[in-house]
Amino acid sequence: MLENISREIIRFNNVWIGYKIPKKHGIGYEIFIAVKDMSFYVNRGEVYGLVGESGSGKSTILKAIIGIIKPLKGEIIVDNIDISKDDPRKREVLRKIGYVSQDPFQAVNPKMKVRDIILEPLRILKRDNTDFSNIIETLISLTGLPNNVLDMYPHELSGGMLQRVVIARALAAKPMIVLLDEPTSSLDTVTQAQILYLLKDLQESMNYTYLLVSHDLRVVSFLANRIGIIIRGYLVEEGPTDEIMEEPLHPYTKLLIDSSRFKEIKEIEYSSIGCPIHPICPYKKDVCEHTMPKIIVQGSRRIACWNYI
């Protein structure tokens, strides 16, 4: 247990996250649950990937980690602090998180030069005007950009170049973890591959910890050593990437793998496939009245019974 505490950078324990939305017909609000009973952890030095279709709750999970949304229930432990609670140490912890979002043009101030964009987190961290020139030049060369980019504005760069700048900024404050929110989805295929290799090289050479979310299983399986699959806010399968890719257990994971390989896709007919965890799963299709999936642990794999779907 003690070993887990020191190795883990992030842990979600049965987290529920909801949004207040206006009622469809009538006055008042209701809560739309976007993330349901979510549990996972990210160890130091690993890449954990969450895959799910649009609207499955991936960005909501990241927003909760950086403290934009508070969960309704559950614990979000970041660097041993429960950031879902009011804790004076929370701000310090959140400063140690790097963030790379989907669209680099939305992520930066268009009026700032690249040098100042990368400088921003360093200034906040150190709270003084130390000369950071060397650090900035090292970061820019790490991300494979020439030095003259530092004096340019975002509109003078391509999407791929600007995403490299955003990555440099995310790494500037020596983060304990970098959150990658669909980091390549706004880029063309060639640039996408270049950025993925850059992220992989940086992770392997500097031992960075990433939490990556994407709808694209190919992107996640390329970078992550462990994968979690989400459907409508539920984590339905989790395990080491190679095991999941070789032997997916949940039908939705099979569907994702087939579609990523451009195989013919057939709608999942859950009632016609026997749940492999039936022998130990109490929620059998015909008799199940539960709305929550039963999670079964099999070695390093976790899989949800799909009778609830």
Ligand X SMILES: Nc1ncnc2c1ncn2[C@@H]1O[C@H](COP(=O)(O)OP(=O)(O)OP(=O)(O)O)[C@@H](O)[C@H]1O
- By CB under 6 A, name the binding residues for ligand X: 19, 21, 32, 34, 52, 54-60, 215
Query: Considering beta carbons, is residue 68 or 280 the nearer one to ligand X?
Result: 68
Nearer Cβ to ligand X, position 59 or 241? 59
Q: List residues bridging with 213 in a β-sheet.
A: 50, 181
Task: Answer yes or no: are the C-beta atoms of 302 and 235 closer than 8 Å.
Answer: yes
Angstrom distances, CA of residue 307 to CA of 250, 266, 278, 279, 282: 11, 19, 10, 13, 10
Q: Which residue has the tokens 């996250």?
A: 17
Cβ atoms of 265 and 226 closer than 8 Å: no
How far from 15 is each of 25, 42, 68, 235, CA to CA, in Å? 29, 15, 15, 11
Which residue's CB is nearer to ligand X, number 21 or number 72? 21
Q: Are 210 and 48 in contact (CB under 8 A)?
A: yes
C-beta of 64: minimal distance to ligand X in Å?
10
Compare residues 12 and 283 and give the one whose CB is closer to ligand X.
Answer: 12
CB of 263 to ligand X, least distance (A): 23
Q: Which amino acid is at 232?
A: R
Nearest-approach distance from CB 144 to ligand X, in angstroms: 27
Cβ atoms of 62 and 211 within 8 Å: the answer is yes
Nearer to ligand X, 63 or 301 (CB): 63
What's the closest the beta carbon of residue 60 comes to ligand X, in angstroms?
Answer: 3
Question: Minimum Å distance from CB 94 to ligand X?
Answer: 19
